[in-house]
């Protein structure tokens, strides 16, 4: 990574529309899980179109700590990873604990490691700070397979390395599992555990996101026997004795696609996103048109731009797929500050994902966040009382500001949204700790530069 790409502080001058072309690679939410799935194979796997993002590096580091060989070759396309799990071993807990608080992906190592080693040690989890994200769905599912979960594990009993220890003294068996909420992570946990458990597993209430279906495609390539009824959220897995490696091209990252689409809308720009495909994000495209955006679907991507006339207010409710993804609402909210009228965004998935609006208000936005819905019937999401509503009145002129991402923003998408807000604002903004954005956006500054953004890197 060059010094330019690894910058942590930007001085951004707003008012310039973003125009040009960017390319997206494989979906972060599939690539990282497919890397974990490679543990299940008796031969090496090949994963293509892997983005150079920090979440991928976290998973790679964890795999290598467990003895998995991960490498690239110069004669292949950029972003091609080879993963060979034949030397998998149980590492010292210190090597695992070094990743504590960095990502939530380690919890997905449980099933594969139980099959390989008979135990899994998981560090304290991290990830985006967007509200309650309990792991009980994961641990309950693992217990259903026959695992024993110690959630208060301490290395040598001294309390120095704290985490979760999972064992399977009698092996893992198929289970009948019903999730109380269609959690993506818990669905992945069940898939990665059930494919080599003895017997049949039936999962009801499953997530059916495109990344889940692509993970199923990966596991099928490895020899797994999986069927799904997407309309009923039911997945059936017949355990097998062994799996082989895979060679897979992942679906494109629809969250990055939506982010650049909102940047075009917010800055009155014109951005072609190479690799984008509409079938993964129909709910987003509907709202994009309603808000005054326009897009053209081409063979190699989608062109996004603001349509003729003013931006229009919309009412949006986040939901699990096939609804409007929670990851899409933050960059959209930034664009809606310029809509003529009052927009409402209901967040029903994560309890603190509207916290990023506080800084937008300091920049001149008029956004009020309500603790619950502002209209409509009671809560549709049964997990817990998460719903919030952001009411955005526009248009409002945004002003440059000092932005400390690590403190002000609760998560990756909010961090990206602050940069887009700065690109819209009058005057100069200084945005610090932009390394957060590299968790999910490859070559972010290179892409901004290619789109004509006016910024300087501050050393």
128 is an active site residue: yes
The HSE-up count of residue 195 (CA atoms within 13 Å, CB side) is: 31
The DSSP result for 386-449, as a single string, is --EEEEEEE----B--EEEHHHH--SHHHHHHHHHHHHHSBSEEEEE-GGGGGGT-TTHHHHHH
> Could you count the other beta carbons within 10 Å of the beta carbon of residue 111?
32
Secondary structure letter of residue 260 according to DSSP: H
List all residues 6 or more positions away from 26 whose beta carbon is below 8 Å from its beta carbon: 47, 48, 49, 50, 51, 79, 249, 250, 251, 252, 253
Q: Which of 110, 128, 298, 384 is catalytic?
A: 128
Q: Give dist(CA 92, CA 94) in Å, integer.
A: 5
Partners of 222 in the β-ladder: none
CA nearest neighbour of 269 among 437, 88, 423, 47: 423
Dihedral sign from CA coordinates of 119, 123, 125, 127: negative
| Long-range contacts of 225-230, Cβ-Cβ distance < 8 Å, separation of 24 or more | 226/191, 226/195
Catalytic center residues: 128
């Amino acid at each position: 990574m060059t010094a330019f790409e690894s910058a942590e502080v930007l001085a951004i001058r707003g008012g310039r529309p973003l125009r040009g072309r960017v390319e997206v690679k494989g979906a972060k939410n599939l690539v990282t899980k497919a890397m974990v799935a490679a543990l299940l194979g008796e031969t090496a796997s090949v994963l293509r179109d892997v983005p150079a993002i920090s979440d991928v590096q976290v998973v790679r580091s964890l795999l290598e700590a467990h003895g998995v060989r991960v490498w690239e070759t110069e004669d292949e396309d950029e972003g091609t990873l080879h993963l060979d799990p034949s030397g998998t071993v149980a590492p010292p807990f210190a090597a695992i604990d070094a990743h504590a608080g960095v990502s939530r992906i380690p919890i997905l190592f449980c099933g594969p490691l139980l099959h390989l080693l008979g135990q899994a040690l998981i560090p304290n989890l991290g990830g985006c700070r967007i509200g309650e994200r309990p792991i009980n769905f994961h641990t309950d599912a693992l217990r259903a397979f026959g695992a024993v979960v110690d959630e208060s594990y301490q290395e040598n009993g001294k309390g120095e390395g704290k985490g979760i220890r999972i064992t399977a003294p009698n092996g893992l068996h198929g289970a009948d599992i019903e999730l109380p909420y269609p959690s993506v992570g818990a669905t992945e946990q069940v898939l990665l555990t059930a494919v080599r458990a003895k017997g049949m597993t039936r999962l009801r209430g499953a997530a059916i996101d495109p990344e889940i279906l692509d993970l199923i495609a990966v596991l099928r390539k490895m020899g797994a026997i999986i069927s799904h009824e997407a309309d009923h959220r039911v997945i059936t897995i017949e355990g097998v004795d062994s799996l082989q490696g895979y060679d897979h091209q992942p679906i494109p990252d629809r969250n990055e696609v939506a982010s650049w689409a909102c940047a075009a809308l917010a800055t009155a720009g014109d951005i072609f996103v190479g690799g984008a495909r509409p079938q993964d994000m129909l709910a987003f495209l509907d709202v994009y048109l309603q808000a005054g955006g326009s897009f053209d679907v081409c063979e190699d991507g989608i062109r996004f731009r603001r349509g003729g006339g003013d931006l229009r207010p919309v009412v949006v409710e986040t939901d699990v797929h096939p609804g409007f993804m929670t990851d899409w609402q933050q960059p959209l909210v930034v664009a809606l500050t310029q809509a003529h009228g009052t927009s409402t965004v209901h967040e029903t998935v994560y309890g603190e994902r509207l916290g990023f609006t506080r800084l937008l208000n300091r920049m001149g936005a008029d956004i009020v966040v309500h603790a619950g819905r502002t209209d409509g019937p009671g809560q549709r999401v049964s997990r817990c009382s998460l719903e919030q509503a952001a009411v955005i009145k526009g248009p409002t002129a945004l002003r440059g500001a000092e932005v400390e991402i690590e403190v002000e923003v609760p998560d990756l998408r909010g961090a990206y949204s602050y940069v887009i807000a700065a690109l819209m604002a009058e005057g100069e903004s200084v945005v610090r700790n932009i390394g957060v954005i590299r968790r999910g956006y490859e070559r972010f500054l290179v892409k901004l530069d290619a789109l004509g953004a006016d910024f300087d890197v501050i050393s």
